[in-house]
Chains A and B, each alone.
Chain A
Amino acid sequence: MVLTIIGHPISTCTRRVKTVLIEKGVDYKLQTIDWANGEHKSEAHLQKQPFGQVPVLIDEDGFTLFESRAITRYIAAKYANQGTKLLPDPSDLKAVALLEQAASIEQADFDPYASGIAYEKVFYPRRGIPTDEKRLQQHIDTLNAKLDGYERILSKQKYLAGDELTVVDLWHLPYAEMSEKFAPQVWESHPKVNAWYKALKERPSWIKANEG
């Protein structure tokens, strides 16, 4: 069997994984989860992903893995010798540490606020929950402050873990795109961050991951 991703074409986290699969030139099959009928909450799915989420990787030998960032790390490591280089040399402890620093920043300092904007403007309304304008503004204000930190980093080096692209830069794409749509001023007021994002979103892998 070919590598399978259980996910959904519109899911941010599925597109995060697709981007890395495409960068590494790895064939895969997307098995679309039936959100509308609650497949993600079925016992069968919970056995694979105990939080009822997607994506889930089922590798060619049946190995099951969830969490888009873990899946992308696994793909980047397993296929280290093909496609775009996305991880530092594992024996370079300091380069690995700087990757982990960037990875932690993405999940702790970027994702909550950028995805928070997406939740208030898109995901909650889609579920019939109205936008909480106060909370939305808090997310925007916090993201703006966090991008000050990003601006400092990207004034010293080209990418978040150093001068080379890594998986961590790519992880930002789904919620960078959504937050930029609803709070463009936050991005425009941080020129180095804006330039870094604009270059990333032109990558063929991201464009392809968003097809359809």
Chain B
Amino acid sequence: MVLTIIGHPVSTCTRRVKTALYEKGVEFNLQVIDWPGGEHRTEAHLQKQPFGQVPVLIEEDGFILYESRAISRYIAAKYANQGTKLLPDPSDLKAVALFEQAASVELADFDPPASGLAYEKIIKPRTGLTTDEKRVQTLNETLKSKLDGYERILSKHKYLAGEELTLVDLFHLPYAATTELLAPELYESHPKVHAWYKELKERPSWKKANEGL
């Protein structure tokens, strides 16, 4: 059996994983979860992913892994010798530390306000809920102040963990894209961030991950 990803073409986290798989040139089968039918809340799915989420990786030997960033890291490590180099040399403790610093910044400083904005302005209307405009304003302010930090970082080196592209830069793409849609002025006011994002979004892997959407 080929490597399987249980997910959904539209899902941000599924597209995060697809991007990494394409960068590494790894074949996979996308098994589309029946979201409207509540498949993610079935016991069968909860046995694989206890939080009722996607994506989930099922390896060729049956190994199960969830969390898009963990899946992407595993793919990048397992296929270290093919495709784009996406991780630092594991024996370089400082390069690994700077990678982990960037990875933590993505999850702690970028993802919450950026995904929060996407939730308020895209998901809520789609599901019949009302956007909380006060929350949108708070999220916008938080994201703006976090991008000030990113601007400092990207004024010192080309990518977030140093001069080389890593997985962490790619982790940002799904919510960097929604930010472009929802708050483009934030990019205009952060030119280094903007240039970094514009280059990333041209990567063939990201374009392929978004095909059909």
Q: Tell which of A74, A93, A152 touches B100, judged by Cβ atoms closer than 8 Å.
A: A74
- Please determine whether A51 and B149 come into contact, CB atoms closer than 8 angstroms: yes
Interface residues of B (CB under 8 A from A): 46, 50-52, 63, 65-70, 73-74, 77-78, 90, 93-94, 96-98, 100-101, 103-105, 107-109, 111-112, 146, 148-150, 152-153
Q: Contact at B93–A109, with CB atoms within 8 Å?
A: no
Interface pair A101/B70, CB less than 8 Å apart: yes
Q: A96 near B: Cβ within 8 Å?
A: yes
Decide if A199 is an interface residue (CB 8 Å cutoff): no
Q: Is the CB of A65 within 8 A of B97?
A: yes
Q: How many residues of A contact B (CB 8 A)?
A: 37
Report the separation of the CA atoms of residues A103 and B100 in the bound assembly, to the nearest whole angstrom: 11
B96:A77 contact, CB within 8 angstroms: yes
Contact of A70 among B69, B100, B149 (CB under 8 A): B100
A50 adjacent to B63 (CB under 8 Å): no
Tell me whether A70 and B107 are in contact (CB under 8 A).
no
Tell whether A51 pairs with B101 under 8 Å between CB atoms, given A98-B65, A100-B69, A108-B107: no
Q: Is A208 an interface residue (CB 8 A)?
A: no
Contact of B74 among A67, A93, A108, A111 (CB under 8 A): A93
* A194 nearest CB across to chain B (Å): 17
Across the interface, which residues of A come within 8 angstroms of B73, CB to CB?
96-97, 100
Q: Which residues from chain A sit less than 8 Å from chain B, CB to CB?
A: 46, 50-52, 63, 65-70, 73-74, 77-78, 90, 93-94, 96-98, 100-101, 103-105, 107-109, 111-112, 146, 148-150, 152-153
- Give complex CA distance A101, B63 in Å: 13
Contact of B105 among A51, A63, A73, A150 (CB under 8 A): A51
Q: Is A63's CB under 8 angstroms from B69's CB? A: no
Given contacts A94-B63, A98-B65, A108-B107, A153 and B146 within 8 Å (CB-CB): no
- Which residue of A has the minimal Cβ distance to B97? A74
CB <8 Å contact, A93 and B98: no
Also in contact, A63 and B108, with CB within 8 A (given A93-B78, A97-B65):
no
Residues of A within 8 A of B98 (CB): 65
Shortest distance between the CB of A111 and any CB in chain B (Å): 8
Q: Given contacts A70-B100, A97-B63, could you give 14 more A-B pairs where the C-beta distance is less than 8 Å?
A: A46-B152, A50-B153, A51-B109, A63-B97, A73-B100, A74-B100, A93-B77, A97-B65, A97-B74, A100-B70, A100-B74, A101-B67, A103-B70, A107-B107
A149 to B66, CA, bound (A): 12
Question: Measured between alpha carbons, how far is A70 from B100 in the docked complex, in Å?
Answer: 5
Q: Is the CB of A107 within 8 A of B104?
A: yes
How far, in whole Å, are A150 and B108 apart by their CA atoms in the complex? Answer: 20
**How far, in Å, is A190 (CB) from chain B's closest CB?**
12
| CB pair B70 A70 closer than 8 Å | no
A103 closest partner in B (C-beta):
B70
Name the A residues within 8 Å of B77 (CB-CB): 93, 96-97
Q: Taking the nearest CB of chain A, how far is it from the CB of B52, in angstroms? A: 8
In Å, the complex CA distance between A152 and B53 comes to 14
Residues of A within 8 A of B108 (CB): 67, 107, 111
Cβ contacts under 8 Å, A112 to chain B: 112
A66 & B107 in contact (Cβ 8 Å cutoff): no
A144 to chain B, nearest CB (A): 13
Give bound CA distance, A107 to B109, whole Å.
11
